[in-house]
Amino acid sequence: MWKNAPVLFALFTLLSCTACASDEPASDGPSSDRFPAELAPGADFDDAAECDVDTPCTDGLTCAYVDLGNPSDPALCVDPASVCERLDCGDGECVILESFPARVACSGTAPDDGSGDEPVGN
């Protein structure tokens, strides 16, 4: 009964590794309807200090990556009670995902960027 166990284990391991090496982008979980925010008119994060594990934020502030569409932007010390006031999510909603650093993004339907998903007719 167990003579095929090594073969089954090897097959299981191979399939597991294949799934890990997928070219598919990582999902944010069951609700992958998140999209980058835009700054609200007149808003900026120029006064926000950068943060990380070695450089924590002062009391009352949270270390968060504010998703403005540039993955190389650093995490910033923000006030979780007011960070969404600086962002424009269109018809979507500003959400703060709990992690370290936290992630601030928009959730809902992304605004049409005019990229032309419409078919071109003759």
Average of per-residue pLDDT across 88-107: 95
The answer to whether residue 8 scores a pLDDT higher than 70 is no
Residue 21: which pLDDT band, with cuts at 50, 70 and 90?
very low
Chain Cα centroid distance, residue 21? 20
Report d(CA 64, CA 52) in Å as an integer: 9
The answer to whether residue 111 scores a pLDDT higher than 70 is no
Residue 34: predicted pLDDT: 86
Helix or strand run (H / E) with residue 32: none
The answer to whether residue 96 scores a pLDDT higher than 60 is yes
Report d(CA 86, CA 75) in Å as an integer: 15
Task: Please state, as a whole number, how many other Cβ atoms lie within 10 Å of the Cβ of residue 102.
Answer: 17
Residue 26: predicted pLDDT: 41
Task: Look at the chain and count its residues.
Answer: 122
Backbone angles phi, psi at 39, to 5 degrees: -70, 140
Joined together, the tokens standing for residue 12 give 């299981």
Residue 109: predicted pLDDT: 74
C-alpha distances out from residue 112 to 6, 25, 69, 70, 116, Å: 52, 21, 15, 19, 9
Residue 114: which pLDDT band, with cuts at 50, 70 and 90?
low
Joined together, the tokens standing for residue 5 give 């166990």
Residue 11: predicted pLDDT: 37
Whole-model pTM?
A: 0.63
Residue 88: predicted pLDDT: 96
